[in-house]
Structure 1
Amino acid sequence: MKFDKYIKIGVLGIALWSLTGCTDWLDVQPVDQVAEEQMFTSEEGFRQGLNGVYVELCSSNLYGGDLQVGTVEVLAQRYKFANYGTMQNLNSLGQFDYTTDYSKSNFAGIWEKGYALIANVNTLLKNADEKKNLFTGDQYNWITGEAYALRAMLHFDLFRLFGPVYKTNKEGRAIPYNKEFVLSGTDLLPASEVLEYVIDDLKEAERRLANDPIIEQGPLLEEGATEGENFWHYRTFRLNYYAVKALQARVYLYAEMFSEALAAAREVVAVQEQYFPFTTKSQVTDGQKPDRIFSSELVFALQYPNRDKIFTDYFTPDLKDDQMWLTPSTYLEKIFGTLALNDWRYESNWKVASGHTNRCFYKYSDLETDAYYADLLPMIRMSEMYYIIAETAENETDALESINLVLDNRGVELLTSASQLESTLLNEYQKEFWGEGQLFFYYKRMNRSSILSAFSGGNVEMNDTKYVLPLPQSETDFR
């Protein structure tokens, strides 16, 4: 694994964040060269180092692009691209052609950026263990707890892309799991072993975040605290205790550890009404500042000041049809059905625009408001926990109760029979996580033999070759 251009924290441009308030604490002042020995000389330095990782998660190679609205959504068949000009490369990727220079460069960017951030997390953890005397109160446990969770999350998403289809190949070679800073490659581990390491890191994160302020005080989405205190406010903008439990539920489900997934999801939904209330229809459809991401339900989100660039680059009606990341109306109709307008997600996020025959995707459009949710990227939703419960519940009553709670808060007709549960869960993953990168991973986890495609308007056949991204050439050449 080559990290030549990612030499420790300095080359990544670790960001120093202002911690004075909600609208200021993500003001990014890039630092081109921050030596490790200079960064980690104080508790504040460790906070800055941790913040820098969160900022870099929003890069175009990761959740500010490829792992949110980009590559993984293209593979999930969300879009239809023109087969010429600037869209030809995307068209080929959407047809699962992984041999083009564009695809290879795209996959390499995800891989290298992901492992570069993992290297930075490992550097932070190493220094934290060596300098525990610098920390006060619970700061050591909280900072390192989030770091363990970040390491687990990054490895898990790289695994979900580049690893084998777990349902049919649990011992297939997957990816390296790096627990320390390295400049050279490490072994490709069996899929089951990678998931064991992910689970271990999340358990360690849970242990260290046992006194996370969110447990007693909730998300703390308000300003007014001192600078030091504000670092531990806005807890849903970071991998807080409940986000760690939610990640556990997601990973356990993928690992087919269903009872563990159920238990973790139940712990998260136990505080849903108190800390993560369902967003109301009036909030979602507010004409001035619509909360299109259902922000009160987010267990974890990234704050991305340039989020509106996603809309202007890909989805704005100012683009021509052959320039837009287009979702055909026929595809939308198959997912949302004849009662589409009743679904709050459709009403708020899909708008007819002048000059276009298809609706445009508005989830990430600029709200021109100072509402805290105006620049958030959803990472983990409370609804996913209810879906996990519905999938793993021990009886039909619990399963129906769980899925219906979400449906009721989306304006969708409730289920009356468990016989519809599997198809409804599929449909909910298609609707709920639009532009959030989770649908392709759902298809792969379930090893679905065919999936609905915006390219053809019908179904496309799937197999391991399509579900498993090839390792970057830099990785295969090394081996």
Structure 2
Amino acid sequence: MKKIIIATIALSAITFTGCNKWLDVKPQAQTTKDELFSTQKGFRDALTGAYIHLKSNNTYGAAMMWSNIEYMARNWDVVSATNTGITGLANGVYTDATARGWLDNTYADMYKVVADVNSILEKIDVNKSVFTDNNYALIKGEALALRAFSHFDAIRLYGPMPDNPGTAAILPYVKEVSHDIILPVPYAEFTQAILADLDAAEALLKDTDPITKYSIAELNPGSNSSTPSVVDNYYLYRQIRMNYYAVLALKARVYLWLAPLNTANKANASKYAQMVIDAKDRLGMPTFRLGRESDRVAGDNTMSPEHLMALSIYTLDNIANSSFGEQGSLVRNDFNVQDGFYYLNNLFPVAERTSDIRWKEMWAYKTSAGNTSYVMYKKFIQRANAPIQQVPLLRLSEMYLILTECATTKEAAEGYYRIYCAQKGIPFVNGFNANNWETDRKNKMIREYVREFYAEGQTFFTYKRFNVVALPANWTATYYTGSVGRYIVPKPDREINYHNN
């Protein structure tokens, strides 16, 4: 049986010498690990390696953001039926060899991030003396949270339906650097391990993360003349790291996923979502705000003021143009054609198009020969005078949707949703349908997740969480058909070694 070997970026770059070293008493890989983790810089470099793996094409640099997983949600048209991999993903036929290979690679790269952070967590406590200031707490807290983040998306994609997970062992929750095959554990044990890591990360970051004190502008040199003198440059740009508020937001997301098994989890989801919304800087100003029309006008189509965690991709302009631009393959073809396709014609009703900032100037026909019937999406295409090369992984807007979904009364739900709608340009005059407000809320929440997080990999997870079989009638239900077989993606058949040397 073949094995996939997972290697850490920081360690795989080390060049090994000739065969005469094989009689060394201590394995060379162990020596290099000890050297790497003998300094604070070594721990920082290893954590950087984990973030680099998050940006791989198999994870959040493409497949888990705007590419494969968006085909799985039918958010892109299949332009060529001869591309069996894309067709397989779009139809939920994961037995196609190409599609299966892509999904296996995503699984492996998710666990590469886990291997990276486990190498840190293995050494960080015994080498605590090498750290200065708050670096120990920051690095350990981020490592724990990244481990939880990667495992959570693994179970969202490859795990069971959240409303009926069963008791069988499903996936491994990997907490150690090991050459041994890590055995899978049941859903309940797996999800409790996620929450335990997040609880520990929250405790470590609560009183040490600079983002709990300074504003985003202050922590981004050049964006504000009043940037304070920070002890260590490593403390800057916290909104593109797994910071304290990102941990809280991830806890809100996890608890919402677990809500079908325990209604108390909705209260926990609301609690953590509200903590993020209530975040204030040292001057008492909100740390984050919802994106709005002025951001779009300024060219900030990803609404960066609401990014709770993001990846900095300095080549995003080139990537976006090649993926979404004139020659890009990620397209829609239902712009002004009333063909029943749910997204462009029904997802944004005509009455909302003049005000909704997720619609206005976000879509445009291609103009090059042979492509004029296709529409490009402009969320990640950068404007020359205002490049913001960040890919959001957690956003403030999700916290408002969580509060809306978890509210126990119609009035409370409408209160949260109205705040959200006011910033996004969504008409919401009469509230939720009084005759069946909970069903109306559910349908609106599904729609908002699609509209808000289009090309961010969240649509498929939203459909799976709600176990969507068919879209609401006004979206044309025949366009998308969900099933358990579509939602439970098969994990690799091959064994995986979760080690990093």
Q: TM-score range by the shorter chain?
A: 0.7 to 0.9
Correspondences of 1:237-252 after superposition (within 5 Å): 237-252=240-255
- Quote the Cα distance in structure 1 between the aligned partners of 2:41 and 2:230: 11
Range that drifts further, 332-341 or 156-165: 332-341
**2:170–2:187 contact (8 Å) kept in structure 1:** yes
Give 1:327 shift.
5.2
- Quote the Cα distance in structure 2 between the aligned partners of 1:80 and 1:9: 35
> Where does residue 326 of structure 2 map in the other structure?
317
Give 1:476 shift.
9.3
**2:307–2:395 contact (8 Å) kept in structure 1:** yes
SS of residue in 2 equivalent to 1:167:
coil
SS of residue in 2 equivalent to 1:435:
coil
Correspondences of 1:152-231 after superposition (within 5 Å): 152-211=148-207, 212-219=209-216, 220-223=218-221, 229-231=232-234
One-letter code aligned to 1:395: T
Indicate yes or no: 2:369 matched with 1:352. no
One-letter code aligned to 1:400: E
Give 1:428 shift.
0.6
Indicate yes or no: 2:69 matched with 1:60. no
Give 1:227 shift.
8.7
Give 1:174 shift.
2.4
* TM-score between the two structures when normalised by the length of structure 2: 0.84
One-letter code aligned to 1:242: Y
- CA spacing shift, 1:74–1:241, aligned 2, 3 Å: same
Give 1:70 shift.
1.4
- Quote the Cα distance in structure 1 between the aligned partners of 2:455 and 2:13: 27
SS of residue in 1 equivalent to 2:480:
strand
> Where does residue 417 of structure 2 map in the other structure?
403
Give 1:401 shift.
1.1
Residue by residue, what CA displacement relative to the aligned partner does 1:419-468 show, whole Å, maximum 9, x if unpaired? 23222111111100011011111111111122489x99833332211101
- Quote the Cα distance in structure 2 between the aligned partners of 1:415 and 1:165: 35
- CA spacing shift, 1:438–1:235, aligned 2, 3 Å: same
**1:341–1:347 contact (8 Å) kept in structure 2:** yes
- Quote the Cα distance in structure 2 between the aligned partners of 1:44 and 1:226: 21
Larger Rg: 2
302, 305, 310: which one aligns with 1:301: 310
Range that drifts further, 389-398 or 145-154: 389-398
> Where does residue 6 of structure 2 map in the other structure?
6
Give 1:324 shift.
4.5
One-letter code aligned to 2:346: K
- Quote the Cα distance in structure 2 between the aligned partners of 1:386 and 1:12: 41
- Quote the Cα distance in structure 2 between the aligned partners of 1:369 and 1:133: 46
Indicate yes or no: 2:24 matched with 1:51. no
SS of residue in 2 equivalent to 1:93:
helix
> Where does residue 462 of structure 1 map in the other structure?
482
One-letter code aligned to 1:377: V
Correspondences of 1:39-438 after superposition (within 5 Å): 39-85=36-82, 87-211=83-207, 212-219=209-216, 220-223=218-221, 229-256=232-259, 257-271=265-279, 274-286=286-298, 290-319=299-328, 323-326=329-332, 328-329=334-335, 330=341, 331-338=343-350, 339-355=352-368, 356-369=372-385, 371=387, 374-418=388-432, 419=437, 420-438=440-458
One-letter code aligned to 1:422: K
**2:9–2:50 contact (8 Å) kept in structure 1:** no
- Give the aligned length: 450
- CA spacing shift, 1:142–1:342, aligned 2, 3 Å: same
**1:303–1:375 contact (8 Å) kept in structure 2:** yes
**2:141–2:200 contact (8 Å) kept in structure 1:** yes
SS of residue in 2 equivalent to 1:378:
strand
- CA spacing shift, 1:34–1:285, aligned 2, 3 Å: farther
- Quote the Cα distance in structure 2 between the aligned partners of 1:435 and 1:422: 21
One-letter code aligned to 2:165: N
Give 1:34 shift.
10
- CA spacing shift, 1:407–1:13, aligned 2, 3 Å: farther
- Quote the Cα distance in structure 2 between the aligned partners of 1:302 and 1:393: 31
Q: Could you list the runs of 5+ residues in structure 2 that have no partner in the other structure?
A: 15-29, 222-226, 260-264, 336-340
**1:2–1:183 contact (8 Å) kept in structure 2:** no
- CA spacing shift, 1:231–1:327, aligned 2, 3 Å: farther
- Quote the Cα distance in structure 2 between the aligned partners of 1:444 and 1:327: 25
SS of residue in 1 equivalent to 2:495:
helix
**2:404–2:414 contact (8 Å) kept in structure 1:** yes
**1:284–1:292 contact (8 Å) kept in structure 2:** yes
Indicate yes or no: 2:463 matched with 1:447. no
Q: CA RMSD in A?
A: 2.7
- CA spacing shift, 1:161–1:34, aligned 2, 3 Å: farther
- Quote the Cα distance in structure 2 between the aligned partners of 1:327 and 1:199: 42
- Quote the Cα distance in structure 2 between the aligned partners of 1:74 and 1:391: 26
**1:164–1:173 contact (8 Å) kept in structure 2:** no
One-letter code aligned to 1:180: E
Residue by residue, what CA displacement relative to the aligned partner does 1:272-296 show, whole Å, maximum 9, x if unpaired? 761112333122123xxx0000100
Range that drifts further, 307-316 or 97-106: 307-316
**1:10–1:34 contact (8 Å) kept in structure 2:** no
- Quote the Cα distance in structure 2 between the aligned partners of 1:327 and 1:127: 52
- Quote the Cα distance in structure 2 between the aligned partners of 1:425 and 1:456: 17
Q: Could you list the runs of 5+ residues in structure 1 that have no partner in the other structure?
A: 15-32
**1:452–1:458 contact (8 Å) kept in structure 2:** no
Identity %: 28
- Quote the Cα distance in structure 2 between the aligned partners of 1:181 and 1:48: 18
- Quote the Cα distance in structure 2 between the aligned partners of 1:243 and 1:415: 32
One-letter code aligned to 1:441: F
- Quote the Cα distance in structure 1 between the aligned partners of 2:290 and 2:202: 25
SS of residue in 2 equivalent to 1:171:
coil
**2:6–2:111 contact (8 Å) kept in structure 1:** no
